[in-house]
Structure 1
Amino acid sequence: METRVTRSLRLFLSAAFISGIALPATAQEAETRPAPRIEVDASTLDRDTITIGGGVGFIPSYEGSNDYVVIPVGAVRGKVNGFNFMSRGLQLSLDAVRDRKTSDIDIMFGPVVGLNLNRVNRIVDARVRALGTRKTALEVGGYVGIGKTGVITSEYDTLAVRVSYVRDVTGVHDSYVITPSIEYGTPLSRRAYVGIAGSASIVGDRYAETYFAVDPAGSIASGLPVFARPRGGVKSYSATLLGNYALSGDLLRGTQIFTILSYSRLQGDFARSPITSIAGSPDQLYGAIGIGYTF
């Protein structure tokens, strides 16, 4: 039963979450006074539900950029016949394991499909723009994970670990992206929810060459030094903080405001590439704010 509550409360925008900032204070507070009890009508837990939302966000103009662009954002998540689905950025995933009413352990497994729009357009820096754009990559794969409900603050908070694997099927970068993550989320009341997480991104050599290499022709066109054959590996570590507040008074239905802020740090050849080290920055910020509705 708790698993269903937590899934309903988990914010539908994500990628990822931040590590450790709010946890020490939360744990200390829990020791000194009991967590507030959140009453939930059991009849709302078994129903099918869908949440849709939209807003505005800011992202680097390409991976490794220190210029930012404002973009529209949208998201969807829901549950139909006990099966959960959700979007994370430009990825859509389905949990093929049906909810179990009596367990506080959540086994997650299912397909993932998404788009990679890196360097497709909106490149602000003229030097990187001179290197040319890339086509949109369609990435397909899957994920597996496990979560537990009732961990720290209440019977409704959740801790989960998961790892996803996707591969480009359109020949744009012809490589893979592996994303392990650890996530924690808790409702503060029937109105408010917060989530934190940490994740990493691991990619192949072809990914690094497609988005971070500078060949001799590109060096002449852009003025950036040659950076041939960058190696794949750990591309970045990320940390994210998110929040959700129900204007209707209930996170399980009605209108909600959401916000998300994420920090990512590029590693290895991804940070050493002149696309990052000269024309951009290894420090990457992402954020969004918007409004959603749960049916």
Structure 2
Amino acid sequence: MPLSRLSAFVAATLLATSASTALAQESAADRSNLTIGVGAAIVPSYDGSDDYTIIPAAAARGKVKDFAFWTRGTSLYVDAIPNTDPNGWDFELGPYVSVNLDRTGRIKDDRVKALGELDTAIEIGGFAGISKTGVITSAYDSLTFNVAYGKDIANAHESYVITPSLQYFTPLSVTSFVGTGVSAEYVGKGYGRYYFDVTPAGSLASGLPAYSRAGDDAGFKNVTVNLTAGHSLSGDLRKGWTVFALGAYTKMLGDYKRSPVVDIAGDSNQWIGAIGVGYTF
């Protein structure tokens, strides 16, 4: 099943939200915990597609002796700085790895399919960020900003991706929460060339016009906004079962949205919806 970086990130944000809210409410004595989630999402079949597919989604978030870790789709983050500040500040710094499956499988559009399946990119790098619990509405809401950098080591796009994101979550009560966020992707020349350019040979095979501008410069590929909501089935967000839902909108930008795989075969407006359940131990 093809799963783009964008689709993976947003679908799994849904699952990670309950974990984020639960962890924000844990007492300082709870140095280790784990939330896992599963769900389903309807997402574009590739970044820039106007065809949609239903995918499974899974995520985990937790901490071991104050060292936090979490997944976002096909990405894993490990925070090497322990979260011990009693005033609610959390500084994040650690390794990051992501598997990019965009256009590696079942592509619905025949023209894009004729361009051929792409190789899986494995991006390794790091991230840094800052989070504050107890910001606006209560002692338990949280605001987080971080930036991740990953470089492909699998000889696929052979370039880099920088992903800044800003997320805000607030519990409405002991049993429910809402959240919102915005993120973007800044990609290198090789990334744009690999996923969005159309070579003359590809043009002959697909009928799409040749296109080479996406690989001319690095730039912002897209921006995404999302809304999430959840409700505890156990009566307490800090433990037991939670159900949640997410909606998101992404806008492709610049030379990437002008690529024939988006402008002709797809759509620069991308929509995602997801539902799921999570369990906090």
Is TM > 0.5 for Structure 1 vs Structure 2?
yes
Pair 1:246 & 2:232 matched: yes
Task: Give the whole-Å Cα distance in 1 for the aligned partners of 2:231 and 2:280.
Answer: 12
Quick check: which has more Rg, 1 or 2? Answer: 1
Cα separation, 2, equivalents of 1:42 and 1:116:
36
Distance 1:156 1:139 in 2: 33
Task: Give 1:1-295 correspondences, 5 Å limit.
Answer: 13-14=12-13, 42=27, 45-230=29-214, 231=216, 232-295=218-281
Q: Distance in 2 between matches of 1:124 and 1:291?
A: 29
Q: Which amino acid aligns with 1:123?
A: I
1:187-214 CA-to-partner distances (Å, cap 9, x unmatched) read 1111111111111110001000100011
Find the residue that maps to 1:14 and give its secondary structure: helix
Alpha-carbon spacing, 1:148–1:184, altered in 2? closer, same or farther (3 Å): same
Matched residue type, 1:290: G
Structure-2 separation of matches of 1:143 and 1:42: 26
Q: 1:125 & 1:216 partners in 2: Cα distance?
A: 19
Give the drift of 1:90. 1.2
Unaligned 5+ segments in structure 1 are: 1-11, 18-39
Q: Would you say how many aligned residue pairs link Structure 1 and Structure 2?
A: 261
Q: Distance in 1 between matches of 2:189 and 2:245?
A: 34
C-alpha distance in 1 between matches for 2:271 and 2:125:
26
**TM-score, L = length of structure 1:** 0.84
Distance 2:27 2:185 in 1: 38
1: CA distance, partners of 2:239 / 2:180:
22
Post-superposition offset of 1:151: 1.4
Aligned in 2, Cα 1:74/1:144: closer, same or farther, shift over 3 Å?
Answer: same
**Superposed CA offset, 1:71-112 (max 9, x none):** 111111111111111111211101111011422211111111
Query: How much identity, in percent, do the aligned residues show?
Result: 47
Asked if 1 retains the 8 angstrom alpha-carbon contact of 2:15 and 2:278, the reply is no
Aligned residue in 1 for 2:5? none
State the AA in 2 paired with 1:266.
M
Q: Distance in 1 between matches of 2:194 and 2:206?
A: 16
- Deviating above 6 A after TM superposition, structure 1's stretches of 4 or more consecutive aligned residues are none
State how far apart, in whole Å, the 1-side matches of 2:55 and 2:86 are: 42
Q: Show the counterpart of 1:21.
A: none
Tell me whether 68-77 or 252-261 shows the greater mean CA deviation: 252-261
In 2: Cα distance, 1:193 partner to 1:82 partner:
23
